[in-house]
Amino acid sequence: MCTAFVRKGKDVIVGFNMDINMGAVDYDVYVEPDQFYVGVRPAGVANAYPELIDNYERNGELPVIRIQGINHKGNFGNCLNNMCFTKASFRLGENVISIDHIVDDYISGTSNLEDIIRIANEKEIMNWPNGSVDIPDLAMHSLLADREGRIMLLEPGNGYSIIQGEYAVLSNFPMLELPGDFRDENAGFYGKDRYDKAMNMLRDSNEDFSIEDGIRILRAVKQEGTWATRVSFVYSNNENAVYYCKERDFDHMIRHQFVN
C-alpha cells in the first residue's frame, strides 16, 4: 500500500515504505553509485498489451522500471496505489504519458521537477497499464520532491498540486478528490490511519528533523501481514546518502553514500 513523506527543515529528509503482497510484482532493490530505487519488470504488460512492446522493450527485453527511489541529485520519486480510483485508465496516444515513465525518468535523473510540471501541463497523465502489478483496477499517484525541498503531488486524472509548506505525506487515497465513501469506519482501507500518524509526527517536528526522525516515522507506519512493508528508505540531502532496509529491519539500516 505504501507511505511517502517529505520534511523540509535544516535538511531535506524524504522517506518511503513500500508495502506490497508477495508475488504482486516482480521487484528488486537496486543500489547504484548515483541512484537507489525499487525496480520492477512489467512482465504482465507484454501479454496483456502486445501493442506496448515498443514502449517497454529496450534491447530486446523488458527493462527494469524505477517505481520508487532517490538519486544523487535529490530527486525523490514514487508510485503509490491510489485505492478505488477509476480515472485516467491507461491508453496510448501522442498526447498521453503514463505515470511510471514520468517517475522512472525522474529517478534516473533525465528529468527534473520543471520538466514534470511542463509535461503535466502539456499531456494527459495515465495510470499504469493493467498487468504491471497484480492489483485490480490499478491506479497510482506520486509525491515528488527535489533537494530544494519543493514538493509536488501528481495524480493521474486529477492533475497536480505544488504543495506549499514544510512537509507532506501520501498514502492510498486520492488527495485531490476524496473518495465518496471516505468515512472513519473504512478510512483504514485507504491508509488514512498511516497518513494521520505520519502527519501528526511531522506537525510535532522542528527544523532539526533528522534521518533518525524519518526512520521513526517509517517504523510507526509499517505494515504487517499480507501487505507488509518490504522495503524502507530515508534520504538526507545534507549527507547526500540514503539509509534503507528490507522486511522492516529498522534496527539494521544500511547506509549508501551517493557519488556527487
Residue 184, burial from CB neighbour count under 10 angstroms (0-12, 13-18, 19+): exposed
Whether the predicted pLDDT of 47 surpasses 70: no
DSSP string, 15-75: EEEEE--TTSS-EEEEEETTEEEEEE--HHHHHH-GGGHHHH-BTTBPPPEEEEEEETT--
Q: What are phi and psi of 126, to 5 degrees?
A: -100, 160
Residue 1 Cα to chain centre, angstroms: 10
- pTM (two decimals): 0.91
Residue 104 grid cell: 522512472
pLDDT tens, residue by residue, 174-231: 999 887 776 777 766 788 999 999 999 999 999 999 999 999 999 999 999 888 999 9
